[in-house]
A = this chain, B = another copy of it.
Amino acid sequence: MSLINIQEGAVVMNNFQFVNPTKIIFGKGEIRKLSKEISKNHKVLIIYGGGSVKQTGLLDSVKEHLKEHTIGEFSGVEPNPSYETLMKAVEIVKNEGFDFLLAVGGGSVIDGTKFIAAAAKYDLDDPWKLLTDNRSVTSALPIGVILTLPASGSEMNGGAVITKKSTQTKLPFFGPALFPKFSILDPVYTYSLPEKQIANGIVDSFVHVMEQYLTYPVDAKVQDRFAEGLLATLIEEGPKALADKENYNVRANIMWTATLAYNGLIGSGVPQDWSTHIIGHEITALFGIDHAQTLAVVYPAMLEVMKDEKKDKLLQYGKRIWDIDPSLPKEKRLSLAIEKTSDFFVGMGLKRRLSELDLGSDAIDQIVKGLADHGMVKLGEKGLVTPDIARKVLEQSL
């Protein structure tokens, strides 16, 4: 067996700490709880992206529910939220004394809000250091969330990813102060999402689960079962979400799945991968490709290249999730598991190959250079995904 021996020579569940203080307020109409969740002593900055929250009336509804609060607005947080845009908000927060940040949107708005919340508290000569100095963020303004797009899991975790446009760099940061105080999850808000965003969210959530699940076995039975439950739900509900925009249960199941996919629970006590995410971030930073689309092309190729290392879990995944006949030869079962994963992404409407995104070997050179430049040289659950392996993966995905 290709297993790392973790403790005293035996394969055991890793020790872990798990804590998640975010209060989830889930369901239709729950925005009615908003006003009570934020003290009236706070000066609240409402942060959002483009015009969609205006068009749907959600922004008006938020303001109506906060009519007894002192509020301001900051709009224009872009997909892959940029340092450059967010620093404008940091200035406003500092100058005008906002002391509660309310993110209304999806992962980009929430992640951007987390950066603003931290940068406003840390008195750094260069706030970008929050991303580069490997700091655990222990101080930040309090954050609330009204979620409109199930995908990133940022509504119930202490992480965020920010892009510096000037250098085409996309990096994550983490810390206990970044957990939202509360997140309101109303599945009805997802009815108005474009099909592409719902599909992207489903693929993103799916790969979040896989990055924590599809590594090597440590006999963590509950974490495996929970991960498999999330994957099964996405496979079951994903196509329904595209076929029927206003099915409450489908949207509710997807929303709760996306949150639980990356809130720390299924990753507790198990090895984690994340190599595909990091390679994907480079692709997005360089070429502006949607995050989920980068995952859909890279992930199956990663499984293909790493299938010997991952074979035990890949066989378990194939059997439990895709019902692959255990009497087939092992190589066949491994390739079927990978094929079905890629087919699921394609079924959600995403592209299968880098070449379909008009990226070729020049692009691969740039991506691999980006990984090396950002110190991303030993990725994956065992640190085996070097820039050379990343190149193999990207060539596999051409």
Residue numbers of A with Cβ under 8 A of B are 7, 10-30, 219-222, 224-226, 228-230, 232-233, 236-237, 248-249, 252-253, 256-257, 260, 265, 268-269
List the B side residues contacting A219 at CB < 8 Å: 249, 253
Measured between alpha carbons, how far is A222 from B260 in the docked complex, in Å? 9
A-B contact pairs, 5 of them (CB 8 A): A19-B24, A24-B268, A222-B256, A225-B232, A225-B233
Report the 3 A-B pairs with minimum CB-CB distance, sorted nearest first: A225-B229, A15-B27, A19-B23
Would A23 and B27 count as touching, CB distance under 8 A? no
Known: A26-B269, A225-B233. 20 other contacts (CB 8 A): A7-B28, A12-B252, A13-B249, A13-B256, A14-B27, A15-B28, A15-B30, A16-B24, A17-B23, A17-B25, A17-B26, A18-B26, A19-B23, A219-B249, A220-B253, A221-B232, A221-B233, A222-B229, A222-B233, A256-B269
Considering the complex, give the chain B residue whose CB is closest to the CB of A30: B15
Would A12 and B249 count as touching, CB distance under 8 A? yes
Measured between alpha carbons, how far is A15 from B260 in the docked complex, in Å? 16
List the B side residues contacting A220 at CB < 8 Å: 252-253
List the B side residues contacting A230 at CB < 8 Å: 222, 225
Considering the complex, give the chain B residue whose CB is closest to the CB of A23: B19
Measured between alpha carbons, how far is A12 from B232 in the docked complex, in Å? 19
Would A222 and B269 count as touching, CB distance under 8 A? no
Measured between alpha carbons, how far is A127 from B228 in the docked complex, in Å? 45
List the B side residues contacting A30 at CB < 8 Å: 15
Considering the complex, give the chain B residue whose CB is closest to the CB of A11: B249
In the assembled complex, the CB of A28 is this many whole angstroms from the nearest CB of chain B, namely: 7
Measured between alpha carbons, how far is A226 from B30 in the docked complex, in Å? 24
Measured between alpha carbons, how far is A232 from B7 in the docked complex, in Å? 26
In the assembled complex, the CB of A224 is this many whole angstroms from the nearest CB of chain B, namely: 8
List the B side residues contacting A11 at CB < 8 Å: 249
Given A26-B15, A27-B14, do A253 and B222 touch, yes or no (CB 8 Å)?
Answer: yes
In the assembled complex, the CB of A182 is this many whole angstroms from the nearest CB of chain B, namely: 8
List the B side residues contacting A260 at CB < 8 Å: 222
Measured between alpha carbons, how far is A8 from B29 in the docked complex, in Å? 13
Measured between alpha carbons, how far is A7 from B28 in the docked complex, in Å? 10
Measured between alpha carbons, how far is A230 from B21 in the docked complex, in Å? 23
Would A12 and B248 count as touching, CB distance under 8 A? yes
Measured between alpha carbons, how far is A33 from B12 in the docked complex, in Å? 20
